[in-house]
Amino acid sequence: MPTLRVILLWHQHQPFYKDLVTGEYRLPWVRLHALKDYYGMVKLLDEFPNVHQNFNLVPSLVAQIQDYVAGTAQDPFQEVASKPAKDLTENERRFALQYLFQANPQNLIGRYPRYKELWERFREHGNQPDRAERYFQPQDFTDLQVLSQIAWFDEFFLEEKDIAALVRKGHNYSLDDQKFVIARERELLARVLPAHAAAAEKGSIEISATPFYHPILPLLCDTSAGAVSTPGLPLPQNRFRHPEDAREQLRRGLDLHQQVFGVRPKGVWPSEGSVSEEALAIAHSLGVQWMATDEGVLGRSTGLFFARDGNGRLPGHLAEQLYNIYRYENGSTAMHLVFRDHTLSDLIGFVYSGMPPADAARHLINNIKDAAKPVLDKGRDAVVSIILDGENAWEYYPKSGREFLRRFYDGLQREPGLEAVTMSEAIARHQDFGQLNSLVPGSWINANFNVWIGAPEDNRAWDYLHHARDYYASNAARASEAQRQLAFDEILIAEGSDWNWWYGPEHHSANDRDFDELYRKHLSNVYQALGATAPDYLAQPITGVEVRPSFVPQTGYIHPRVAGDKVRYFEWMGAAIYTADHRAGAMHGKQFLLDSVYAGIDATNLYGRLDFSGKPPAEDFEIVVNVESWASGEPRPRRTLRVSAAAREGRLKEWKIENGSAERELASSAQPDEHVKVALLRNFEFKVPLIWLLATPNSAPSAERKSAAVAATSKLRLRFSLWQNRLPVDSLPLEGWIELQVVSEGELLFGA
């Protein structure tokens, strides 16, 4: 009987937050995620000895965990959490309010009533530390300091007697409680890496590596690779080509893993699944035996598009291509390659957190079996690869998703004919390898590198890196060995992918400024280490130096959850984006209330999102979204919709959706429709069926295309506006519309 092998790879990653010159950590996420997820994800497998998995640990993350365990990490966030509340300065109190509430409101903050009470008090004063600080007494700060740490403790840690007692106490924590928590953190962090080493030694997991500071290897080798994946992509003014740095990043990563875990990794999950033929050749020369990336890269390399049906299933011939292990051979380079199932991976990341754990686990097991069925039916073994972030998703699950994982793992080990295996086990047991002799460069995001290069901010960051790298090459020989080493380390850190993740139009967070300042600090340290003064331009923010592109078209189907309370970057990835240019109009005294709008489709729905400049207005307001569907060659829209939502005190009071041309109400808060969703909290989001606009993509089932008129729709147009006192006070776009093409996902991705 053929076998279904499931490869689960959890990618554990945080950027390098440490400033090598000052020794200070700019953000606390290494410590907090190491407390919350890394230990438990591995320890959980003790309960399921027949479930083998893969854990990818980024070496820069490992090095930072070691720094915390050694007690040498200088973390200002931990220092504020540990300082007696009565001794906090005014700036430290405001710092605590700004950063100690940066956690999931429902599953981390909301789990602890006192923490939630303090968070709601902070929100009542506009989420502004300078306004809220006076309403927090010393006992409030002590409770915040303790609970903001406990909230990040792993489920296994929370079960330990002394920590459980502290949780039960709930409030009125003492200085001794505060000292206990901080001391305990270091003890708990010390368990993380040994737990991985022990699991690997007994064969429960395989540990893979990533280039040390998480760079995009193909772009380090040559930034021109960006235009290979996306012809016509604007590139930096200066071509960055340093394959020797790519090799050094990977060599250092492999060396550290061998030092820490006692075994040299056989495999690599390249940063962001980014591969190219040059990167594979470097990895092969360093003894790497396998690498993994996304199905989109396989699709581009073979000329296939992995289009799924309405149930998320691939047709038989495509399933045979994807659910296999490939052998890449080109000249002297040989490499085993595995390509992740994008759809199954995203179900864990974005969908199952909203389902009962038992239902979610059952759904995933059935989906895996159904996906592999066409291959198994032909008498061949199938290999299904699920690869995703192993930390951030769990904030959206109750109790870090442990019930879901337990039920899922139990199903994996009980299912006949199914094996959960490490990557090396899968390769050793596989027989009928697919063959590749060429590879199109790409990443796990749309099989290109557009997140990290192409936008003005991205390209400016690459140019600054180029100048620093050239300065090092010209001046390092005159410096001491210690100076050279520090300068080169700072270059390698600046080559990491995380800085450009936040530049450009795709991603934004509360820590954008921190990332920008830290990136420029790393580059400045290169010059300082070599005894020079950094260029003046490194004192100026990259974010905002260039106007962001006002419009980015949709590049892939989106399936966001409409909640309005927390932006999930990946769910809106691929949406069309229109960003307000606040700088261009600031001279005219305009008050900007809207920051950006997002819009996109999938096979059945239209989605929209509006982000405010800061928090939603305190005064009453109304949001109006006008939507039009157009067919080619017709002088007027086929159908218009008007989505309106009224807010009182920053909260959604009522909403309605009207057929604009017929002036007929289709749904409302008083008469909802199961296919419609409208939400307003931190931002405004909505979902409406495309059929209401007489629009469905050509890939949709024919039953959904009620007539030729529906199928003929070629584009949608949207405009968002905010009204107060019956006057439009801001809108995006200011002129014109956001346009969406109503096409299949394949046409969006490949322009077919």
CA gap 397, 114 in Å, rounded: 20
Q: Does residue 324 surpass a pLDDT of 90?
A: yes
User: How far from 441 is each of 192, 206, 298, 307, 573, CA to CA, in Å?
Assistant: 34, 26, 10, 20, 20
Q: Does residue 704 surpass a pLDDT of 60?
A: no
Neighbouring CB atoms inside 10 A of 621's CB total 19
pLDDT in tens, 384-440: 999 999 998 899 899 999 999 999 999 999 999 999 999 999 999 999 999 999 999
Average pLDDT over residues 265-289: 98
Question: What is the CA angle 66-144-105, rounded to 5?
Answer: 85
Amino acid at 29: W
Backbone phi and psi for residue 357, each to the nearest 5 degrees, phi listed first:
-55, -40
Question: Tokens 């061998």 correspond to what residue?
Answer: 258
Do 27 and 17 contact (CB within 8 A), yes or no? Answer: yes
Taking the CA of residue 594 as centre, how many other CA atoms within 13 Å lie in the half-sphere pointing to its CB? 26
Average pLDDT over residues 442-452: 94
Residue 634 or 291, more confident: 291
CA gap 505, 289 in Å, rounded: 36
CA gap 575, 502 in Å, rounded: 16
CA-wise closest residue to 264 among 241, 286, 248: 286
In the structure, what pLDDT confidence band is assigned to residue 502 with cuts at 50, 70 and 90? confident
Q: What percent helix, strand, coil does the chain show, rounded to 5?
A: 45, 20, 35
49, exposed or middle or buried, with CB in 10 Å at 0-12, 13-18, 19+? Answer: exposed
CA-wise closest residue to 418 among 410, 290, 277: 410
Q: Which of 53-62, 584-593, 653-662 has the lowest mean pLDDT?
A: 584-593
In the structure, what pLDDT confidence band is assigned to residue 564 with cuts at 50, 70 and 90? confident
Do 503 and 542 contact (CB within 8 A), yes or no? Answer: yes
pLDDT, position 547: 45
pLDDT, position 129: 93
Running DSSP on this structure, what letter comes out for residue 698? T
- Cβ neighbors of 134 (< 8 A, separation 6 or more) are none
Average pLDDT over residues 706-712: 47
Average pLDDT over residues 103-129: 93
Do 305 and 749 contact (CB within 8 A), yes or no? Answer: yes
pLDDT, position 727: 56
Do 467 and 362 contact (CB within 8 A), yes or no? Answer: no
In the structure, what pLDDT confidence band is assigned to residue 58 with cuts at 50, 70 and 90? very high
pTM, whole model, 2 decimals? 0.79
Question: Tokens 């994996």 correspond to what residue?
Answer: 412
All structural domains of the chain with their residue ranges: 29-51+60-193, 456-539, 551-750
CA-wise closest residue to 21 among 536, 517, 489: 489
Neighbouring CB atoms inside 10 A of 174's CB total 12
Domain 456-539 sits in CATH 3.40.50.970: no
Amino acid at 336: H
Render 240-308 in DSSP notation, one character per residue: ---HHHHHHHHHHHHHHHHHHHSS--SEE--GGG-B-HHHHHHHHHTT--EEEEEHHHHHHHHT-----
CA-wise closest residue to 425 among 295, 288, 325: 325
- Cβ neighbors of 304 (< 8 A, separation 6 or more) are 298, 318, 321
Q: Which of 87-96, 125-134, 391-400, 690-699 has the lowest mean pLDDT?
A: 690-699
Q: Does residue 545 surpass a pLDDT of 50?
A: no
Give the three-state DSSP class for 631: strand
- Cβ neighbors of 383 (< 8 A, separation 6 or more) are 5, 7, 323, 324, 325, 338, 426, 430
Neighbouring CB atoms inside 10 A of 647's CB total 20
Q: Does residue 699 surpass a pLDDT of 70?
A: no
Q: Does residue 657 surpass a pLDDT of 50?
A: yes
Record: fold of 551-750 = Immunoglobulin-like (2.60.40)
Average pLDDT over residues 685-690: 95
Instruction: Round the average pLDDT of the chain to a whole number and report it.
Output: 91
User: How far from 707 is each of 254, 602, 694, CA to CA, in Å?
Assistant: 58, 19, 9
pLDDT, position 513: 83
pLDDT in tens, 328-386: 999 999 999 999 999 999 889 888 888 899 999 999 999 999 999 999 999 999 999 99
CA gap 348, 389 in Å, rounded: 10
Average pLDDT over residues 444-457: 94
Rg of the chain (C-alpha set): 26
